[in-house]
Amino acid sequence: MKKAAILIVALFCLALSNAWANKTSVEVKAPAEVKAGTEVTITVNVMHKGNSKSHHTDWVSLTVNGKEVKRWEYGKETLPAAENFTVEFKVLAGEALTIEAEGHCNIHGSAGKKSTSIKITQ
Q: pLDDT tens for residues 92-117?
A: 999 999 999 999 999 999 999 999 99
Per-residue DSSP letters for 74-92?
--SSS--SSSSEEEEEEEE
CA angle 32, 99, 52 (to 5 degrees): 115
The closest alpha carbon to 88, from 68, 70, 112, 113, belongs to: 70
What does pTM read for this prediction? 0.82
Q: pLDDT tens for residues 8-58?
A: 655 555 544 444 558 999 999 999 999 999 999 999 999 999 899 999 999
H-helix or E-strand containing 120?
strand 114-121
The closest alpha carbon to 99, from 55, 71, 121, 67, belongs to: 67
Domains and CATH numbers, the chain: 22-121 (2.60.40.730)
